[in-house]
Amino acid sequence: LSVVDAENREVFSNSSVRPTDRRISGAISLDLPGNRLGLNIVAYRGGGAWLPFVPAALIVFLTLIATATLLQLRRHASRRAETEEQLRAAYAFRQAMSQSLVTGLRAIDLDGRITFVNAAFCRMTGFEEAELVGVAPPYPYWPPEEFDQLQRNIDQALGGQAPPGGFEMRIMRKNGERFDVRLYFSPLIDAAGQQIGWIASMNDITEPKRARVELERAHERFVTVIDGLDTAVHVADARSGEILFANRAFQHIFGFDTVAAIRRWSPPPAGRPRRRWPSTRRTSIRRHCRSKFLTASSSTPCPATGITCTSAPFAGSTDARCASSSPPTLPTASTSTK
């Protein structure tokens, strides 16, 4: 606003700014008595020429930031969805593997509390997963009569002193049936490399143990029966000819004290030179033959060793066969059971 006189000279102005853009301007005549004054009005913009573009620039800038943020959020959501899908697939695969195993798996923490059991473990013990997870020793499948031994085993395993061959123990099913198992322990390591517990695999060895016991009993019965025979029996390897077993009659006939002594003079494996018996052994066999087996003539070989005996015929013998005072009929040296 500026006040001018009749000659359009400025008398007063409320601003020192001289706007160059006068497109919005006007003039008013005051018509005062004795003084002709006029009022000029000019509208102008403050600041520089770039100021009108600041709001638009801010809007564009904020729009770009929002767009970039939305793109990043979309990428993050896509990666997260893929990761979740991979985790679901890995968990499903792990569950399928653990549930399809015939070996029972059990995971415990460092205090012995059960954190995981698979389906095979539940089938063996008869307990449900909800009945076992979170339980600390003594466990529900421990027989009361085996508490002390099983507690020592779990303490030894938690101390990191479990034997490599595992523990052979007796546990019970939910219905009270006892069965034998073998438990193997190994450390349970997390993704950071820290041990968070122990994983144990359990195998039912009831039938193999029963078969092993029956086999041992059958072997004992076989050895007892064979040792009680008067017939010389020995078992030799079909390939190498090494004597694996000889009964007492065989050892007595040939003058050996143990089976180890017989193996010492067993035929060597193929490709190795055959060892000759020393003259002392041949002499002892000849003397043994003379004392045990009597022939009718000096030309008849002893059936036990093939060595000709030169002695008087056995009393009461009418043929040319060798005879013995203890068994009525003696076997030949080639008689064996393979």
Q: What tens digit of pLDDT does each residue of 209-226 get?
A: 778 888 888 878 877 777
Give the C-alpha distances (Å, rounded to integers) separating 304 from 40, 84, 250, 278, 293.
Answer: 154, 82, 10, 18, 9
Residue percentage of the chain with pLDDT more than 90: 25
Q: Which residues pair with 114 in a beta bridge?
A: 108
Positive/negative CA dihedral, 271, 272, 277, 278: positive
Nearest 5°: CA angle at 97, between 95 and 102? Answer: 115
Average pLDDT, the chain: 75
Residues 118/125, Cβ–Cβ less than 8 Å:
no
Cis status of the peptide bond prior to 138, with omega within 30 of 0: yes
Segment 243-271 mean pLDDT: 66
Residue 115 dihedral angles phi and psi, to the nearest 5°: -115, -20
Residue 115 has pLDDT above 80, yes or no: yes
The predicted pLDDT at position 48 comes to 62
Output the six-digit token pair for 193. 């490399």
Residue 45 has pLDDT above 70, yes or no: no
Output the six-digit token pair for 159. 């101390």
Asked which of 137-151, 180-194, 265-279, 285-299 is least confident by mean pLDDT, the reply is 285-299
The predicted pLDDT at position 49 comes to 65
Between 120 and 321, whose confidence is greater? Answer: 120
Residue 97 has pLDDT above 70, yes or no: yes
Residues 179/170, Cβ–Cβ less than 8 Å:
yes
Dihedral over alpha carbons 174, 176, 181, 183 (to 10 degrees): 50
Query: Nearest-CA neighbor of 169 among 134, 127, 138, 131?
Result: 138
Output the six-digit token pair for 202. 């359990």
Output the six-digit token pair for 102. 């015939």
Terminal alpha carbon distance of the chain: 135
